[in-house]
Amino acid sequence: MDYHNSPFDLQGKVAVIIGGTGHLCGNMGVALARAGAEVVLVGRNPESAIEKLAAIDAFGGKSWFHRADVRERQEIDDLLTAVLLRSGKVDILVNGAGASLNTPFLEITDDEISTIMDINFKSVLRACQIFGDYFINRAEPSSIINIGSMAGKIPVNGLFTYAAAKAAVHSLTKNLASEWGDHDIRVNTIVPGFFPTGQASQQGDETRALEILRQTPMSRFGEADELTGATLLLASSAGSFMTGTEIIVDGGFSAMTL
Ligand SMILES: NC(=O)c1ccc[n+]([C@@H]2O[C@H](COP(=O)([O-])OP(=O)(O)OC[C@H]3O[C@@H](n4cnc5c(N)ncnc54)[C@H](O)[C@@H]3O)[C@@H](O)[C@H]2O)c1
């Protein structure tokens, strides 16, 4: 699709995608690059970025990989420094690193609580602090897109710590939207339903998959590309009056009551 000369045009913009080596956020990276943005895919493993970097290169887009473990504040600081050095600026930040475990509640250890909160929530808070400070000082329109989860909205069996971490991401998003509205820094959440890819594919058994599908009016799982519309809307001037919102992309899962 050609987004040039449309409100979704991102030519001249730089997007940093934390978790961009993963399935959903990697696809978001391809979508942002297709709309013209220079894209920085951030993750712990360079090999995981190869396919997405090649996909972007194939249509003449611009992208590169930066290695960071976002559990460490210093690594997020170093990420911003590296992006400013190589790309000169940042306009869009996507916070999509994620990991979940479905340990029975009474067996969850302190180590697991720390790890899951660190990856899914504290890393988002730290990245919002570090990039937010940069955005405030730069004083240009900026967009932060946090990746939440349906599990953070309504109970999804067995994902206790992950669900709490994602609920915290939803809350942080709204608080920052309120805090930074005057600075033209928009902060929004995309709330995916069930996309059986990456981390999500490791949790599912067949019975659970059938339960999810029964609860989903569209009777299927999502495809990674189906997050493209929400991503481009929130990243671009098409969404210039949107902040503090949650865009739910779930095939109707959260609309179903019986
Ligand atoms: N797949 C789904 O059904 C689904 C549903 C709701 C929300 N989500 C959220 O969407 C996002 C992407 O999920 P996905 O399914 O594509 O999973 P994925 O496992 O493919 O992607 C997660 C990415 O996060 C990265 N990551 C994890 N810990 C990190 C760390 N400490 N430092 C840097 N990077 C780290 C991983 O390397 C990976 O690239 C996550 O935030 C996830 O919670 C996914």
Give the mean pLDDT of 95-122: 97
pLDDT beyond 80 at 165: yes
Task: Please tell me the distance from the alpha carbon of residue 85 to that of residue 89, in angstroms, as a whole number.
Answer: 8
Confidence of residue 199 (pLDDT cuts 50, 70, 90): low
Give the mean pLDDT of 138-160: 95
Ligand 1 neighbours by CB, cut-off 6 Å: 19, 21-25, 43-44, 48, 68-71, 96-99, 119, 147, 149, 192, 194-195, 197-200
| Rama region for 73: left / alpha / beta (φ>0; ψ in -120 to 50; rest) | alpha
Which of 184, 15, 176, 186 minimizes the C-alpha distance to 92? 15
pLDDT beyond 60 at 187: yes
Give the number of other CB atoms < 10 A from CB of residue 178. 12
Smallest CA separation from ligand 1 atom 38, residue: 22
Task: Please tell me the distance from the alpha carbon of residue 54 to that of residue 60, in angstroms, as a whole number.
Answer: 10
CB-count burial class (<10 Å; 0-12, 13-18, 19+) for 82: middle
- pTM score, two decimals? 0.97
CATH class of 14-249: alpha beta
118-134 pLDDT, tens digit per residue, is 999 999 999 999 999 99
Q: Which atom of ligand 1 is nearest to the CA of 95?
A: 41
Q: Which atom of ligand 1 is nearest to the CA of 198?
A: 20
pLDDT score recorded for residue 223: 97
Give the mean pLDDT of 34-49: 97
Q: Which comes out higher in pLDDT, residue 204 or 222?
A: 222
Query: Which tokens belong to 253?
Result: 């899962």
pLDDT beyond 70 at 200: no
